[in-house]
Amino acid sequence: MWSGLRRVTDGQTVVSVQAETLQQMLEALVAAHPGLAPYIRAGVSVSVNGVIVTDLLSPVDPGDEIYLMQYLKGG
């Protein structure tokens, strides 16, 4: 968690959650830190191992590299 998000994660830089799918991961993040809810509700692009994944029911593996970015479209 970069500094802006640490305001809503009680200052934690790393947040651990248990999840089988991306959707569960997002829900678990909100459950652990409700302050994250508006960030996620505003729309996020989920990158898994460098690829934007659009199916949030996709499974998550322990070794996956996952990044949440603000939802991006283009012009």
Partner 1 sequence: MAKDEIQRTYRLIGTRPDRPDGLDKVTGRARYGADVSAPGMLHGAVLRSPHAHARILRIDASKALALPGVKAVVTRADFPTGLTGEDWNLQENTIAGEVALYDGHAVAAVAATSRLIAQDALRLIAVDYEILPHVTDVDAAMRPDAPAIRPGAADHSVPEGLHPNVVKYIDFGHGDLEAGFAAADLVREQSYTTEATHQGYIEPHACLGQLGADGKGEMWVCTQGHWYIRRMAAAVLGIEAAQLRVTPSEIGGGFGGKTTIFIEPLALALSRKAGGRPVKMVMSRAEVFRATGPTASAAMKVRIGMKKDGTLTAGQAEFRMQGGAFPGAPVSSALYCAFASYAIPAVAHVGYDVLTNRPKCAAYRAPGSPMAAFAVESLIDEMCRELGLDPLEVRLKNAVREGTKSSYGPTYGPIGLVQSLQAAQAHPNLSVPLGPNQGRGVAAGFWFNHGGETSVSLAIGEDGTVTVSVGTPDIGGSRASIALMTAETLGIAYENVRVNVVETGALGVNEPTHGSRATFASGKAAVIAARHAIAEMCRRAAAAWGIDPEAVDWQDGAAVPAGPNAGKFPPMPIAEIAARMGSTGGPISGHHEVTAGGVGASFGVHVVDVEVDPETGRTTVLRYLVVQDAGRAIHPAYVEGQYQGGAAQGIGWALNEEYIHDAEGRLLNPVFLDYRVPVASDLPMIDTVIVEVPNPGHPYGVRGVGETGITPPLPALANAIAAATGARLRSLPMSPPKVLAAIRAQRGG
Told to check if 73 binds partner 1 by CB under 8 A, we report yes
Which token pair is 39? 């960030």
CA distances (Å), origin 17, targets 10, 14, 60, 72, 75: 15, 10, 12, 25, 35
Size of site (CB under 8 A) for partner 1: 24
The residues pairing with 70 across neighbouring beta strands, listed in sequence order, are 44
Instruction: From 14-22, 24-32, 35-43, give the range in contact with partner 1 by CB under 8 A.
Output: 35-43
Q: Which residues bind partner 1 (CB under 8 A)?
A: 2-4, 7, 35, 38-39, 42, 47, 49-55, 65, 67, 69-70, 72-75
